[in-house]
Amino acid sequence: MKILPRLVIGSLQPRYPIIQGGMAVKVSTGRLAGSVAREGGIGLIAGSGMTDEELRTEIRVARSIADGGIVGVNTLVAASRFIGVMKTAVDEGIDLLVAGAGFSRDLLALGRSAGVPVVPIVSSAKLAIMAESLGASAVIVEGREAGGHIGTTKSSRVLFPLVKEAVKIPVIIAGGIADRADLMEVLKFNIDGVQVGTRFAASVECNAALAFKQRYLQAKEGDVIKIHSPVGLPGNALMTPFYQRVSRGEVGVDHCDGCLKRCSHSFCIVEALLQAKEGNLDKGLVFAGEHVYKIKEILTVKEIFHLFFDGLEPRDETHA
């Protein structure tokens, strides 16, 4: 029987070496994160686009479900309220802070002062080395296969060995892990853990509407396109009527709340993601990873854990 790697992030040790990706806006909420934590993984709430009170509520929901499991928050560094959101999470007693779409020294300082592990999402060995030097407890190396905003044109399978060799802290691989075959492939790389987003978005517990999840089930290999996000980064998404209009220059911004530190104002990314989450694909943007085509049914979180880990033994003290 194959023994899984043992993921240790600071004092946190999930039973299974898996982090559920934090998918904004309001796709990864307390119900999903708590369910993943209860099954023995690390569940993440996507803090981007939430008010402080909304985030506090979702953390409490996750805790009520998690049965003592590990719950974290993921927020985009590009968000104007980024540090404020993370401070709220710390005040609410969150276990873990994860950040992508940018790099933040302030977050690492917050984590050090609060005693909360910080895990930056990186796309190069250089950023991983910097993160380690500033006190990161681990890094997630994300490749071009991942859903949502991406910071590289290189595969996670190419990037991971470079990052793993460069740092001593745990390195988690993200991007292109949607089924058991993907997991078995990356286990060959001496990984410390995996981050999985898209597969969990097509779960019963995910907050997205049925129409959003069904768009995943309709996807065929090669359907994921690179979009130009107002954040200033490319993103992986599935075509919708909304993005067809964006591509033709038919969409503008009627009102701006200044939610991003920098924004091209080509369209409102928060509104587009919220509309998609609600199932309004004619007005929304559906982020998805390149392996979304492998997802054929909506499963419960428990069923997804069985899909990935049946027959694989979690590493414990006797296997250390």
Q: How far apart are CA 111 and CA 109, in angstroms?
A: 5
How would you label 137-151 residue by residue, b for 16+ Cβ within 10 Å and e otherwise?
bbbbbbbbbbbbbbb
CB atoms within 10 A of CB 17: 26
Q: Is the peptide bond before 77 cis (omega within 30 degrees of 0)?
A: no
For residue 316, the model assigns a pLDDT of 62
Q: Looking at residue 15, what DSSP letter applies? A: S
Q: Looking at residue 202, what DSSP letter applies? A: T
For residue 320, the model assigns a pLDDT of 39
For residue 103, the model assigns a pLDDT of 85
Q: How far apart are CA 166 and CA 157, in angstroms?
A: 15
- Which residues on neighbouring strands pair with residue 149, listed in sequence order? 235
For residue 286, the model assigns a pLDDT of 94
pLDDT per residue of the chain (320 residues) written in tens, 0 to 9: 578 999 999 999 999 999 999 998 999 999 999 999 999 999 999 998 899 999 999 999 999 999 999 999 999 887 768 899 999 999 999 999 999 877 889 999 999 999 999 999 999 999 999 999 999 999 999 999 999 988 889 999 999 999 999 999 999 999 999 999 999 999 999 999 999 999 999 999 999 999 999 999 999 999 999 988 877 788 899 999 888 888 887 776 677 766 666 767 777 778 889 899 999 999 999 999 999 999 999 999 999 999 999 988 776 644 33
Q: What domains are defined for the chain?
A: 18-208+295-319 (3.20.20.70), 210-292 (no CATH)
